[in-house]
Amino acid sequence: MNRLLSLWCFLFLKPLIGWTFIKEVRGKENIPQRNFILAANHQSHFDQIVTGYICVPRRFHMIGQIDKYEGISGFLRDFLYFLAGTIPVNRKDKESKRKALLKAIEVLKKGDILIIYPEGTRSRTGRIQEGKLGVAKIYLKTGLPILPVGIKGTFELLPPGKVFPKIKKAIIINIGKPLFFKEDLEKVRNLECDSLRYQEICKKITEEVMGEIKNLIYDKKNSHC
């Protein structure tokens, strides 16, 4: 999302969202002054609004699927993606995933924020799922901090299959401390991206990120709240 639209959302949409849906935001002091990779759990389409709520009025981008909706729904999705500067990805196409990864790295290197949902798709039960390796691969190519965010309440407001959210002040946002994996950055310096060791390091980072998100959802670490 470009700075002008992000500023407009900050001035007009953020107060409305906060007044209508946001019950509590914890850990705002953990948001880095520099750009970062925001990694959050994914329960609902409303998560995009919540993570955008955290990032405005700064420039940011999300990664969004293009392999599900067609017709009018697909057109509206593409229009919203265009306005928001969303990076499109066909999750069923290897080349599309590669291009989305490269674009994500590009926008981070330009100084923008990247929002990513490591689970890759919305939870159909409300429970957190296993993370994909994309967040780790992006980190290892940029070295930018990963900001873990645990979101509670969006599944109840707008679960998969529903079109309109309940009007209720029910969302709690827990923002964790930025994560750095400096030792892993050094370890992969001379590794090929398709090597087994590189993949093992990606898996380790992903598991640690997902562990932090779980802690934030279930309030297991008071230092992150």
pLDDT tens track of the chain, all 225 residues?
A: 989 999 999 999 999 999 999 999 999 999 999 999 999 999 999 999 999 999 999 999 999 888 877 787 777 878 888 888 899 999 889 999 999 999 999 999 999 999 999 999 999 999 999 999 999 999 999 999 999 999 999 999 999 889 889 999 999 999 999 999 999 999 999 999 999 999 999 999 999 999 999 999 987 654 433
How far is Cα 52 from Cα 56, in angstroms, rounded to an integer?
6
With the CA atoms of 24, 28, 29 and 35 taken in that order, what torsion angle do they form, in degrees rounded to the nearest 10?
A: 170
Please name the residue ranges forming H helices in the chain.
3-8, 14-20, 46-55, 71-84, 94-109, 134-142, 154-157, 182-187, 196-217
Tokens 């970062």, residue located: 36
Nearest of 63, 57, 47 to residue 154 by alpha carbon: 47
pLDDT at site 225: 34
pLDDT at site 65: 85
How far is Cα 88 from Cα 64, in angstroms, rounded to an integer?
5
pLDDT at site 114: 98
Instruction: Report strand pairing: 113-116 vs 60-65.
Output: parallel
pTM of the model: 0.92
pLDDT at site 222: 45
pLDDT at site 6: 95
How far is Cα 174 from Cα 128, in angstroms, rounded to an integer?
15
User: What domains, with CATH codes, occur in the chain?
Assistant: 3-224 (3.40.1130.10)
pLDDT at site 79: 82
pLDDT at site 220: 60
